[in-house]
Amino acid sequence: MKFFIDTANLQQIKEANDLGILDGVTTNPSLMAKEGIKGEENILKHYVTICEMVGKNVSAEVISTDFDGMVKEAKKLSALHPAIVVKIPMIKDGVKALKWCSDNNIKTNCTLVFSAGQAILAAKAGANFVSPFIGRVDDSNWDGVQLIEQIVHIYGNYGYKTEVLAASIRNPLHIVRCAEAGADVCTCPLSSIMGLLKHPLTDIGLQQFLEDHKKSQA
Ligand code: G3P
């Protein structure tokens, strides 16, 4: 399973990248705003900085909601760096824009996906990634991981090439359960990635090893 980090924070991207296990980055307009990045020029520059840090799979989202606007933005974003993946929302014109990008060799990530039906449309339109938001599904009292299982199953039935990118991850257990469900990618906050490290028996065991080593040196 690939690991993406879901942030526009350069410090956090660096920390995850330094671990050596990072395969990409996803951003969205809310995450960009959280970092205080304002104005088109600064936003585009920020994407390039992330691309240069990570080198692959950097999702940058369009703001337009009509076909022509989305295509115009997709061209501009994809020209920034070869690592750019254009994030397009699951709306009617978004499906058309996904197909246009697929026909014109622009990589895409279909975002704001909350049902298997939407995931089928994304795959049919040739999206490279589909992003079901599992945390938000859980928040609405449905089962986010079950949605991942369903999409993985359907894509397997037809050999769809679209990668299932579990998004809106809230904790380390989400990552493990998405891996069990066969997600191709998880995009996670740094806290969830680091949370995978934690086990009290590791800490207790390490402390014991170090104490015993000290005794053998006395
Ligand atoms: O990648 C999508 C993600 O950013 C949404 O996460 O936590 O806002 O539901 P969240």
DSSP secondary structure string, 85-135?
EEEEESSHHHHHHHHHHHHTT--EEEEEE-SHHHHHHHHHTT-SEEEEBHH
Question: What is the C-alpha separation between 61 and 14, in angstroms, rounded?
Answer: 21
Predicted confidence at residue 215, as pLDDT, reads: 95
Model pTM score? 0.96
* Structural fold of domain 2-217: TIM Barrel (3.20.20)
| pLDDT per residue as tens digits for the range 186-208 | 999 999 999 999 999 999 999 99
Sequence-ordered list of residues with C-beta below 8 angstroms from that of 179, at least 6 positions apart, any chain = 1, 186
Q: Under DSSP, is residue 23 helix (H, G, I), strand (E, B) or coil?
A: coil
Predicted confidence at residue 140, as pLDDT, reads: 97
Q: Quick one: average pLDDT of 3-26?
A: 98
Which residues make beta-bridge pairs with 167? Answer: 133
Residue 163 has pLDDT above 90, yes or no: yes
| pLDDT per residue as tens digits for the range 93-131 | 999 999 999 999 999 999 999 999 999 999 999 999 999
129 exposed, middle or buried (CB, 10 Å; 0-12, 13-18, 19+)? Answer: buried
Catalytic residue, chosen from 14, 72, 76, 87, is: 87
Which residue has a Cα nearest atom 9 of ligand 1?
168
Angle between helices 67-78 and 92-103 (to 10 degrees): 40
Q: How far is CA 204 from CA 22, 192, 213, in A?
A: 28, 22, 14
Question: What is the C-alpha separation between 11 and 43, in angstroms, rounded?
Answer: 17
Which residue has a Cα nearest atom 5 of ligand 1?
168
| 167 CB near ligand 1 (under 6 Å) | yes
| pLDDT per residue as tens digits for the range 58-90 | 999 999 999 999 999 999 999 999 999 999 999
Predicted confidence at residue 188, as pLDDT, reads: 97
Per the prediction, the chain carries an average pLDDT of: 97
Inter-residue contact 135 to 174 (CB < 8 Å): yes
Q: What is the DSSP letter of 184?
A: S
Residue 218 has pLDDT above 90, yes or no: no
| Catalytic residue status for 87 | yes
